[in-house]
Structure 1
Amino acid sequence: MAIDTILLAVGAKDEDRAERLADAVAEVAGPTGATVVLAHVFTDDEYDTVLDRLDFGPTDDTSPDEVATRHATIREIASLLDDAGVDYETRGAVGEHGETIVNLAKEVGADRVVVGGRRRSPTGKAVFGSVAQEVMLSCPCPVTFVRDE
């Protein structure tokens, strides 16, 4: 199966694994020439907080894509992909993390999704849920999980 599009879902807690995420997508995208879609999904509350922090006013016509491009982890990964010669675009979306990542994967026609996360106990997943687990179970394409060291 040819890989043309890779969706890399980046979250607020991915700053410590930005280099591993960039390496993971560059390893797949480099040989195939695939385009990477750097995606950051914000919940409604997260989006409002980020808009306030970035000094966007309530009447500013700011898209989630613009907000995502200003996210520090997205900028770091974009720089690493530039260095690796990998084509990418940035997308932002507002919604529940897992469901919205799956919807973005469908929307962009992703052939692979890459998500980061940390190791959690089965009880922790049951009680708190897991975005990565939801994506792995619901995504229409293969998912690569990049965890903390």
Structure 2
Amino acid sequence: MYQILAAIGTDEDRALEQAQAIADLPRNGDVSVTLFHDFADGNPEGASVHQVAAVRRAVEYLEDEGIEVGYSESSGDAAQAILDTADELDADLLCLAPRERTPAGKALFGSVTQQVILEGSRPTLVVGAGEAGE
């Protein structure tokens, strides 16, 4: 089974872009996607990954495409948590969607995306990395 880890933020449109990009990948066998969300604020309300609207939007699309979906969550250092979760799952591919960038920031990805790309050793699909306002 081909295992994809998709790090989902809070932006529903970016989450849908990630789901669409994953569904558009060639599938020669079974594909499983783990939707991961990091509660960067430590999650004081005790929310669950299942309660994040962006995650729900992605799962609806993926399930409609016949793709198996799992869930994972953490609190704290998002980049390190993504890398650790990818290792735990032995993910074949990471899917990230950086925040929109201003013209001044377009030379660099967001810090989490940049750290995952630079420190990770797994193939990474970056979705929707256009400039702010596009």
Same fold (TM over 0.5): yes
Residue pair 1:9, 1:115 contacting (<8 A) in 2 also: yes
Task: Name the structure where helix makes up a greater proportion of residues.
Answer: 1
Distance in 2, Cα, partners of 1:84 & 1:114: 17
Q: Which residue pairs with 2:69 in the alignment?
A: 88
Distance in 2, Cα, partners of 1:28 & 1:127: 26
Post-superposition offset of 1:83: 0.7
Residues 61-100 of structure 1: pairs in structure 2 closer than 5 A:
67-100=48-81
**Cα deviation per residue 1:58-107 (whole Å; 9 max; x = unaligned)?**
xxxxxxxxx00111111111110111000110111122111111111111
How has the CA–CA distance of structure 1 residues 23 and 30 changed in structure 2, closer, same or farther, with 3 Å as cutoff?
farther
**Cα deviation per residue 1:13-59 (whole Å; 9 max; x = unaligned)?**
x322222110111123744321100000112x2411x43xx6xxxxx
Q: Which residue pairs with 1:47 in the alignment?
A: 43
Post-superposition offset of 1:122: 9.2
Distance in 2, Cα, partners of 1:28 & 1:80: 14
> Percent identity between the aligned chains?
34
Letter in structure 1 aligned against 2:124: V
Q: Aligned pair 1:18/2:35, yes or no?
A: no
Residue pair 1:7, 1:38 contacting (<8 A) in 2 also: yes
- TM-score of the aligned structures, taking structure 2 as reference length: 0.82
- Runs of 4 or more consecutive aligned structure 1 residues displaced over 6 Å after TM superposition: 125-128
